[in-house]
Each structure stands twice: as structure tokens, then as C-alpha cells.
Amino acid sequence: MAFVGLLVGIFNGAAGGASVFSFPVLVAIGLSPVSAAITSAIGVSPANIFALVSKRHEVKPLIREHAKILIACSLGALIGAIALIAIPEENFKKLVPVLLLIASCSLLLKVAPALTALERRIEISLMLAIGIYCGYFGPGQGVMVIAVLARDAGRSVASVNISKNVIVGISNIPSICIFAFSGLVDWAMAAALLLGSSAGGYFGGRVVNRFSRNSYKWIIFSVGITSTVWFIYKYWIA
């Protein structure tokens, strides 16, 4: 599981959305979907923080720049985490393929040359919705954050990735606090993921500049669609 965490961390630090790897692996080895989502969230979230180590001088300005987004996304994560624990698991299973498909297809949003004031406000609203999604499910949050930020063509691939790591890393804190006391965490698996994803996140953050905007999107889109098909078979057909 530490090796899975390492791969997750590398891809998550470099492109985002790689937690779609850890969730199906945890389900495949026997965890319930809700427990897998919670364990994955706790084990993988630090990858976003460690991906910032090599870019730490850029973090404070980005926190100030994205302050409203961080507040909206954190509030959404808190709401989503409470919903995950409260809503029956069978309902969650049926939603998994839909949630992953939404995350993947969000990458197809058209890039805008520049965002208007209205579009900036819409961006904050979308981040609130993404935060709820993060707290409720988790895998694919980085993909969705990237998709929203990348609509502004003035943001480079590298700046979008760093902003993604800042937003996801900080906004996950409220949901992680709730999950830690939920009694649904497989701590052995979470620790193994934590070890691997933390190391992987550092290396992933260093290689992001090698991605073009299109390859950056299509790598994660492919991962998301593949996982969606797998969960459609597992929860809707099998």
C-alpha cells in the first residue's frame, strides 16, 4: 500500500486527481466504499502539502490570492464530510461512478482568455461545490480544482498546479478532522498511504513543468474515465 501511495503522491503532486488510484485499490482489498473514501482522504491529502515543499516561497502569495476560494472550499468540505457519515452507504455506492464521471468530464471545460468579474464570482461558487464533493467523496477533487482554475488562460500549468495543491491541501483540513474521529478509518492502510503519498507528492511537485496543458489534462482524464467504467461495472452491473 505504501507503493500505491508513492504513485498516488507523484501523480497527485504533478497533475492532481491521482487519488482515484487509491480509492479503488482500497475497495478491492475489502474496505467498504465509505471507509475507503475516508481512509484514502486521510492517507493521500498530505501529498498536496509535500508537493509544495519545492515551491514554498510561492505559497503565502497564493493563500492571499485565493483566500475567498479557500474559505468556500473549506466550508464545502465540512458540509460534505458530515453528509458522507450521515447518508446510507448504499446511496453512496450508486453515486460513485457519477461523481467520478463529473470529476473527469470537468476537464473538458473550455479555457477562457480572461475571466470577467462575474466569472470570478462563479469560480468561487464552483469551489464551494467542489469542497462539498471533496468532503463527501474525495477522489477527483484535484481534477475539478484544476479544471476550474485552468479556464483562465493567463494561468500557466505550473501556477495552476501549485494553486491546486494549496487549495486542496488547506480545504481538506476540516473534513480530515471529522474523518479522524469517525471510527471508519483503517489506520494501517492510511499510514501506509500517508508514507508513500508524502514522498511521492514532493517528487511530483518537482516534475510538473514537464507537462503541456493538453497532456496535463488528458493524463488525468484517462485515469478518471477508466475508474468510472470500473465502478459502473462493480456497483451497477456486477
Q: How confident is the model at residue 234 (pLDDT cuts 50, 70, 90)?
A: confident
Predicted local confidence at residue 80, as pLDDT:
94
- Give the predicted TM-score (pTM) of the model: 0.77
Predicted local confidence at residue 15, as pLDDT:
54
Predicted local confidence at residue 20, as pLDDT:
67
Predicted local confidence at residue 70, as pLDDT:
95
Q: Does the structure show a pLDDT above 70 at 10? A: no
Whether 84 and 205 have beta carbons less than 8 Å apart is answered as no
State the virtual CA torsion across 29, 35, 40, 43 in degrees, nearest 10: -100
Predicted local confidence at residue 87, as pLDDT:
85
Whether 200 and 10 have beta carbons less than 8 Å apart is answered as yes
Q: How confident is the model at residue 191 (pLDDT cuts 50, 70, 90)?
A: confident
| Residue listed under C-alpha cell 475567498 | 68
Amino acid code (one letter) for 73: C
Give the pLDDT mean for 76-80: 95
What is the residue extent of each domain of the chain?
2-237
Could you list the beta-strand ranges (E) of the chain: none
Q: How confident is the model at residue 124 (pLDDT cuts 50, 70, 90)?
A: very high
Supply the DSSP string of 146-158, one letter for each residue: HHHHTTBTTS-HH
Whether 63 and 70 have beta carbons less than 8 Å apart is answered as yes
Predicted local confidence at residue 222, as pLDDT:
80
Backbone CA torsion sign across 139, 145, 148, 149 = negative
Among residues 31, 89, 95, 103, the alpha carbon closest in space to that of 232 is found at: 95
Predicted local confidence at residue 29, as pLDDT:
84
